[in-house]
Structures are given as C-alpha cells and as structure tokens.
C-alpha cells in the first residue's frame, strides 16, 4: 500500500510540534495521519472490439481525465468538476490536477509509447480538496487524491509535476507486477516513483540530466520551512533541514542504510540509495535522462520478470541485464549503470 508522497515520519514530526504558530499545522498533520485511505488495486484492462471478422485492440494516445471535488470531506470520489471535454474552471487546484495528469500521460506515451499508467488507456481520475487541511497526496489504486495542505508547512500538492507523476507511477509499477511495499522492495517501489517523477518534469521542461534539479516535491513547502523539497536524487539527505521536520534522513549509499521498523521498513528513507544510483547513471550517460538510464529502468520495471520481493542487488543486476540487451555489453550505458550501483555500495567492483 502506497503511504502517500509525504512520509509518515514527517507528518509525525509536524503533529508533535509544540510551536504556537504551527498549532494549526499540528492539528492538520494529526488529522492526515488518521484519515482513511483505502487501497483499491486496479486490474489491467484491455478494450477489444470486432470489426468485420477481425478482433481489434483499441488504444488511444490521448488522456481521459476526470477531476472530482470532495469539498474538504473524506468521502471519495466526490463531485465531478472537470472532464476531458470541458475547459479550465475557476478553481486553480482543479486545473493544476488536470494538467498534471496530462503531462504525466504525455511523458509515458511520448517517451515509452505507454498508453496511460496500465498501458491500455486507463482513464486518469483524480480528487481534489480531500479532507480538512489534508497534508498529503496519494494514489489509491484507482485515482489520485490531493489534500490542500495546512498552509503553514505544506501549501498544496497539485502544482508539483513530480508529486503527480510519482504517485501515478505507483500505478505503473502495480500494473507491471508490483513490488512488495516493505523493506528494500518497498524502497525500490518508492525510488521508481521518484525516478519517473523527476523524469516527467525533465521531459516537460525539456531539460538534460545536467540541467535538472533532481528534486521531488519542490514547491510544496511553505516559506516557513527550511528546505527545498521532500527528496533529492542528486544529494539525498539535503532536501530539508528544519526545526520542526528535522533533517532529511535519506542516505545516498549503503553505508548509511537505515534499519528501522517504521515507515514500512524505511521505504521513504532508504529509497535514497537507488535514487542516487539512478542520478549517477543518468548524469554519466548524459543527454536526456529518460532516453538513457530512464529507458533501462522503464524496461526493467515493466518486463514482468522482477520478483515482488526484489532487493536492491536484484534490481541492480536486472538493470544491467536490460542495459546489455539494449545497448550491448561494452556500451557506455552499461558501464555507467554498473559504476553507479557500485558507487552507492549495492554492487561490488566487477559485479554483473
């Protein structure tokens, strides 16, 4: 089960603060932790039709989006406020959600010829204004759900492409066979969503690997927070350092791996290690990251051969096998990916 873009340990910190000016934020974080989030796995769907004597598989290279509004209740899905046929509305949050779904759809279609998150044209549904000052955004197996934030720590989530693409990528991973949301496989699950979250933003902005910020959730913090984003693939552990939130706990290498029973075994913490491996590989390869390392990660995730309990080493070796099949054993892409996994301590020197 995906816990949402904001890790529970951050919400715990906000809920526990005794700073008078953050009393409202503390109450909002507490409510967020208690709010229901039923997960509804979405089966892969393929639409078929008959034309004459032929059976035709129907796909469409355009998104099918519907945005609903719960009006600050916790009852999903809410009232429909915008569909694919309708123009922008007066509510900026609705329009941001609509546009973010479209950007993510375009990325997967243009970069990997994937028709929506299930590969078969799954409609993209979202709900905005979920809960009262709800401090999170999540994919529940059938739709995106966005809170508005408390206004003091979190300012909202619909304006961040990395947040939207991160959460929708949980659907891509699930449709591809899934990864257990616990320990290293859970951290891989989170890392894959971070990777394609930043790649979606880079694609949308036309950035090369060297030009990108490599930040997840940039802009969701208020000005009161000492931090730039939730996570950094370029420099795990540096995204924030705040009196209330604490210091970003993500390690960049296995030397800092965190053994914990919290956060489903540290899925939002230890994801910094495969995140940084991807950053190192992508920047070493250069150019557009979604075309090099991104293609390898995408084919590895969607091949249907990863065990659901895959650990970091299993995934690393799978990416090397994918890269060798795609580029050849002596290709620079293979060398870059091997060096990246070695640098973060997942593979030893010379490991295949």
Measured distance CA(258)–CA(110) in Å, rounded: 37
φ, ψ of residue 157 to 5 degrees: the values are: -125, -15
pLDDT in tens, 269-327: 999 999 999 999 999 999 999 999 999 999 999 999 999 999 999 999 999 999 999 99
pLDDT in tens, 199-238: 999 999 999 999 999 999 999 999 999 999 999 999 999 9
What's the whole-number average pLDDT of the chain?
Answer: 91
pLDDT of residue 52: 62
Residue 322 domain flag: yes
Residue 2 domain flag: no
User: Are residues 251 and 269 in contact, defined by beta-carbon separation less than 8 angstroms?
Assistant: yes
Number of domains in the chain: 1
Residue by residue, DSSP assigns 69-108 as E-TT-S-SS-EEEEETTSPP-S-HHHHHHHHHHHHHHHHH
pLDDT of residue 44: 43
Measured distance CA(277)–CA(298) in Å, rounded: 15
pLDDT of residue 197: 98
φ, ψ of residue 137 to 5 degrees: the values are: -140, 140
Q: Judge whether 326 counts as a catalytic residue.
A: no
Is 329's pLDDT higher than 90? yes
Is 249's pLDDT higher than 50? yes
The residue from 129, 142, 166, 167 that is catalytic is 167
Residue 351 domain flag: no
pLDDT-derived band at 25, boundaries 50, 70, 90: confident
The residue from 268, 276, 324, 333 that is catalytic is 268
Least confident of 29-43, 140-154, 225-239, 297-311: 29-43
Residue 349 domain flag: no
Average pLDDT over residues 115-142: 93
The model carries a pTM of 0.88
Residue 142 domain flag: yes
Residue 304 domain flag: yes
Q: Judge whether 268 counts as a catalytic residue.
A: yes
CATH number at residue 24: 1.10.390.10
Residue 49 domain flag: yes
CB within 8 A of 45, min separation 6: which ones?
118, 120, 121, 122
For 37, the domain range is 8-343
Residue 352 domain flag: no
């Amino acid at each position: 089960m995906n816990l949402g873009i904001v890790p529970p340990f951050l919400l715990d910190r906000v809920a526990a603060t005794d700073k008078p000016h953050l009393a409202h934020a503390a109450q909002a974080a507490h409510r967020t932790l208690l709010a229901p989030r039923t997960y509804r796995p979405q089966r892969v769907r393929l639409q078929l039709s008959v034309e004459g004597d032929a059976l035709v598989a129907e796909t469409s290279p355009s998104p099918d989006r519907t945005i609903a509004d719960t009006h600050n209740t916790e009852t999903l899905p809410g009232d429909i406020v915008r569909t694919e046929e309708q123009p922008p509305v007066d509510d900026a949050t609705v329009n941001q959600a609509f546009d973010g779904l479209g950007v993510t759809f375009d990325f997967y279609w243009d970069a990997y010829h994937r028709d929506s998150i299930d590969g078969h044209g799954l409609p993209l549904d979202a709900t905005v204004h979920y809960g009262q000052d709800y401090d999170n955004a999540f994919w529940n197996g059938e739709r995106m759900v966005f809170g508005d934030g408390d206004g003091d720590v979190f300012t909202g989530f619909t304006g961040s492409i990395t947040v939207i693409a991160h959460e929708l990528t949980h659907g891509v991973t699930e449709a591809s066979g899934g990864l257990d949301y616990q320990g290293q496989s859970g951290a891989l699950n989170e890392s894959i969503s971070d990777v394609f979250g930043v790649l979606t933003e880079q694609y949308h902005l036309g950035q090369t690997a060297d030009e990108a910020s490599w930040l997840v959730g940039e802009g969701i913090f208020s000005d009161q927070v000492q931090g730039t984003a939730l996570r950094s693939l370029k420099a795990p552990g540096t995204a924030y350092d705040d009196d209330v939130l604490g210091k970003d706990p993500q390690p960049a290498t296995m030397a800092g791996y965190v053994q914990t029973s919290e956060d489903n075994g540290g899925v939002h913490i230890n994801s910094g290690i495969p995140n940084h491996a991807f950053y190192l590989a992508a920047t070493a390869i250069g150019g557009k990251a979604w075309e090099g390392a991104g293609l390898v990660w995408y084919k590895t995730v969607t091949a249907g051969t990863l065990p659901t309990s895959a650990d970091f080493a299993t995934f690393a070796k799978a990416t090397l096998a994918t890269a060798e099949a795609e580029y050849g054993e002596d290709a620079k892409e293979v060398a870059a990916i091997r060096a990246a996994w070695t640098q973060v301590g997942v593979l030893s020197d010379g490991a295949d």
